[in-house]
Structure 1
Amino acid sequence: MAGNFSFDQLKKAVSSGEIDTVLACIVDMQGRLAGKRFLAQYFVDSAHDETHGCNYLLAADIDMEPVPGYKAASWSKGYGDFVMKPDLATLRRIPWLEKTALVICDVLDHHTHDDLPHSPRAILKKQVKRLSERGYIGYFASELEFYLFNETYDSARKKHWQSLDTASPYIGDYQIGITTKEEGVMRRLRNEME
């Protein structure tokens, strides 16, 4: 995949000053990246092996409020840590943050170091394995499809995510004319996905 690089390449990039930050991330229950920002040299020296995160990250709603009733973590059960194990095969430079690399982590049980079965990445790995056992290969892709608003994150939050000002007056699927005014955003997305 474009942008990937090896751990040795990361070490060289850190040494030369090309990379000064590493994001070690998990995928949360809403499909968002959650994790830690590391000084790149610390990641190379130590954190590349493992780090830790609070298990509420897989038991929170979209606003990061802990949700009651989860077996794995709750106010009644208590909150603890899980292991975030960087999968160095996912290591890549990211174009949207200067001098920054990203690595996706597996989420492991703090005591057994087994995959946490309810983590989104563990669920995906299990499904890919099931396909493989049946002689199939899973191919996945995402489509560049979303709504664009004339709002900042803060202005949208202040409106409680309602009555937001859309960039287009109507749904502009496949409409070259209406989407031309959004090209400043779309061009950068296309080019940086290369």
Structure 2
Amino acid sequence: MTPRIGEGLPPLAETLPPPPPPPPFPVPLDRLREDAASGAIADVIVALPDLQGRVQGSRVHPRDFTERIVGEGFGACLYLLATDVEMEARPGYATDPWRGGLGDFSIVPDPGTLRYLPWDPGTALVLGDAVGADGAPVPVAPRQVLKAQLERLAGRGWRALAGTELEFLVFRDDYQRAFEADYRGLTPATRFNSDYAVPEVAGIDPLMRRIRTAMERTGMTVESARGECHPGQYEIVFRYDDALRTCDNHVVYKAGSRQLAAQAGAALTFMAKYDGGEGNSCHVHLSLRDADGAPVFADDGTGRRGMSRYMEHFVAGQLACMRDFALLYAPNMNSFKRLAPGAFAPSSVAWGLDNRTCPVRVVGSGESARIEFRVPGGDANPYLAVAGIVAAGLHGIERELVLPEPTVGNAFEQDLPRLPASLEEAVAAWEGSDAARACFGADVVRHQAAAARSELAAFSATVTDFERIRHFERG
């Protein structure tokens, strides 16, 4: 009998530093000092999300963190915000690390993100913001890109609530074996389409339970978990929260689940499209609240179709900006393999009432009235994706854009405006967009375009299996 992934590992509680139960989230600095003094916490990782949404940073001593770094920040090389997935810094970014002599910026910790890591006993993690030598935030840092859009919302007395539904594929091979095999010929952890299935995913339940428990212990609230369509595919959904906190949780979840999979002798991937099967999505649910906590999207008699007029304008903004902002939702060459027609992911510009074939799905009522934005894949940077959704919505509200009638039926089969079909097309739309420059500023537009061009350059220089198979003997 094939062992279930994760069997034989000690229970998660046995790997945690004492004392149980887990500390509150965020961990108070006084609690960190106490646990550092007792030896329960030996390291604090001071980190920030990079352009790919990865957690990048350094380990520091807890005493140094509490006495100095929490107030002053910690130096990190500027190139962290201007590299591709291979950590290669090409020219063209708005913050050019080479032109700046590979100097430093500071990661200024956000104490509201401080948490202990169950998969790394004795370690705490804090996320922070990139701050330049002039003391100003670095505008192209993904966390700051989102914060800038949330500040625009705050100017209206609103805040955004968001939840991300992130899918991934689990394989029975460990990461070293996957690497040595060039990530080909791997064995999915389940054999069939396991969408909503229960018995079919029993083999990976130990690992999935371990991931869910670990995330709960870092301050997240699990709402649901289930198998998905592609063999080995799974989805864990966490309760919505303030948009910034949701994105912070998102990047911690991705990093932690990879480490937990590795400890179980397995591997998982969030790439948008691993093979010809279903891709990994990252559907984003988003709503707005006013200063009193009242839902901005709820039907108040000012709009039609059970929505407020603000919600109608917000959705109209998504349609108006979806092509221009596609680069924020689909940042890689591989992203557009998932968005291809017939791949059960959006390929058109449309909205619908509880219609999953549309990129914008309007669901809920009253306090739960929200949009589900279905364009991003599992490879999307959550800060940039949510920033794009908020910016597009404000674009529609500020211009009072009129919302067309909803798409009824299967949007895949209808003649509708199309999303960009490639990264090249998405870059062109982004760079030519007046809306992008108005919402994000010229530096962010240039920076994200440079990131995409770095991806394109790397792909263009690579000879693929497709080319060898097609042309080695017959070309």
1:85 is aligned to: 108
Between the two proteins, what is the percent identity of the paired residues? 35
Q: 1:53-81: CA deviations, max 9, x gaps?
A: 01111111112222332131244554211
State the AA in 2 paired with 1:186. M
1:51 is aligned to: 74
The gaps in structure 1 that reach 5 residues or longer are none
Q: Is the 8 A contact 1:67 1:74 kept in 2?
A: no
2:179 is aligned to: 157
Q: What TM-score, normalized to structure 2?
A: 0.38
In structure 1, how many angstroms separate the alpha carbons of the residues matched to 2:169 and 2:157? 38
Q: 1:136-163: CA deviations, max 9, x gaps?
A: 3211223352111122222223333344
State the AA in 2 paired with 1:85. V
In structure 2, how many angstroms separate the alpha carbons of the residues matched to 1:170 and 1:56? 43
SS across alignment from 2:212: helix
SS across alignment from 2:67: helix
CA apart distance, 1:189: 1.3
SS across alignment from 2:75: strand
2:43 is aligned to: 21
Matched, 1:141 2:163: yes
State the AA in 2 paired with 1:8. D
The gaps in structure 2 that reach 5 residues or longer are 1-22, 217-475
SS across alignment from 2:173: coil
1:192 is aligned to: 214
CA apart distance, 1:27: 0.5
Matches within 5 A, 1:87-166: 87-109=110-132, 111-166=133-188
In structure 1, how many angstroms separate the alpha carbons of the residues matched to 2:67 and 2:145? 30
SS across alignment from 1:97: coil
In structure 2, how many angstroms separate the alpha carbons of the residues matched to 1:171 and 1:42? 50
Between Structure 1 and Structure 2, the one with more helix by share is 2
Task: Tell me how large the CA RMSD over aligned residues is.
Answer: 2.0
State the AA in 2 paired with 1:72. T
Change (3 A) 1:182 1:15: same
CA apart distance, 1:32: 1.0
Q: What TM-score, normalized to structure 1?
A: 0.89
Tell me whether 51-60 or 128-137 shows the greater mean CA deviation: 128-137
Aligned residues: 193
Tell me whether 21-30 or 77-86 shows the greater mean CA deviation: 77-86
SS across alignment from 1:147: strand
Q: Is the 8 A contact 2:42 2:123 kept in 1?
A: yes
Change (3 A) 1:151 1:113: farther
Q: Is the 8 A contact 2:26 2:111 kept in 1?
A: no
